[in-house]
Amino acid sequence: MAALRAFIERHPRLMVLTGAGVSTGCGIPDYRDASGAWKRSPPVRHQAFMASPATRQRYWARSLIGFRAIQQARPGPAHRALAALEARGRVTALVTQNVDGLHQRAGSRRVIDLHGRAEIVRCMGCGAQRMRHDLHAELAGANPHWLSLEAKVGPDGDADLDGLDFSTFRVPACPRCGDGIWKPDVVFFGDSVPRARVAAAFAALEAADALLVVGSSLMVQSGYRFARQAARAGQPIACINRGRTRADDLYALKVDAPVDATLTDLLAPG
């Protein structure tokens, strides 16, 4: 903790990069274990979702059950601590790989949602947007017998409903264009982060004194590239994360400890 406090004192303009470990204490599971390996099957890929009606039926059926975890989640100690650091002028930008919106709900204002926001859905045909809870209400009305199912919740609002027949699950098309595909306004695996969002994150990194990684294994290139860029630019990097990360050889400081307790202690006097 002394080394972490000293790092922040030496680098008062931090860009913070957060991952799933910030939200696991809020009831939203993560994808990877302490070694960086998958805990479960990888999530649906963008290409499969767009190409296969059966894949979309499976996705939305599981989401109808699993998304409750994100809807019910509340900001945890790590979210509140990072918002407090921003309020003290220590965080100039917060780039998150999470799609749960909990940083904003905790009070952070300088947030770049790298992978989008899960509570919004977008028509891939005409670009129409709606709130996800509105689509879920329509899904529930069209598939009422699915509401009684219970399953283990997975990351990003998924649920383990494997082994069921999804062929009768009804997924509505976009009413504005008639046949558009509804997709969460998030970056699926196999898709690319919008260029403007990436550019904004790199600009925020360039303006910062240092990078602080919190709760991310950085196994995905979309997050790892910021650690690589900071290292190339000679910007110091600190990390708070349990277990191995892809950028372990790039850090000036690594704190292998729970993020909630570490960030809470960091704000304590002394």
Query: Tens digit of pLDDT for each residue in 29-42?
Result: 777 667 777 656 77
| H, E, C per residue of 149-213 | CCCCECHHHCECCCCCCCCCCCCCCCCCCCCCCEEEEECCECCCCCHHHHHHHHHHHHHCCEEEE
pLDDT on residue 42: 73
Give the span between the Cα atoms of 265 and 128, in whole angstroms.
44
Please list the ranges in the chain whose pLDDT falls under 50: none
Query: Tens digit of pLDDT for each residue in 8-27?
Result: 999 999 999 999 999 999 99
pLDDT on residue 158: 82
pLDDT on residue 154: 77
Tokens of residue 196, six digits: 């403007």
* Residue of 11, 103, 115, 136 marked catalytic: 115
pLDDT on residue 40: 66
pLDDT on residue 221: 92
145 is catalytic: no
Task: Look at residue 239 and give its three-state secondary structure.
Answer: strand
Residue 96: what residue type? Answer: T
Structure pTM?
Answer: 0.93
Tokens of residue 30, six digits: 């993560």
Is there a contact between 57 and 166 (Cβ–Cβ < 8 Å)? yes
CA distances to 101, 188, 189, 214, 228 from 222, rounded to whole Å, are 18, 11, 10, 15, 11
pLDDT on residue 260: 97
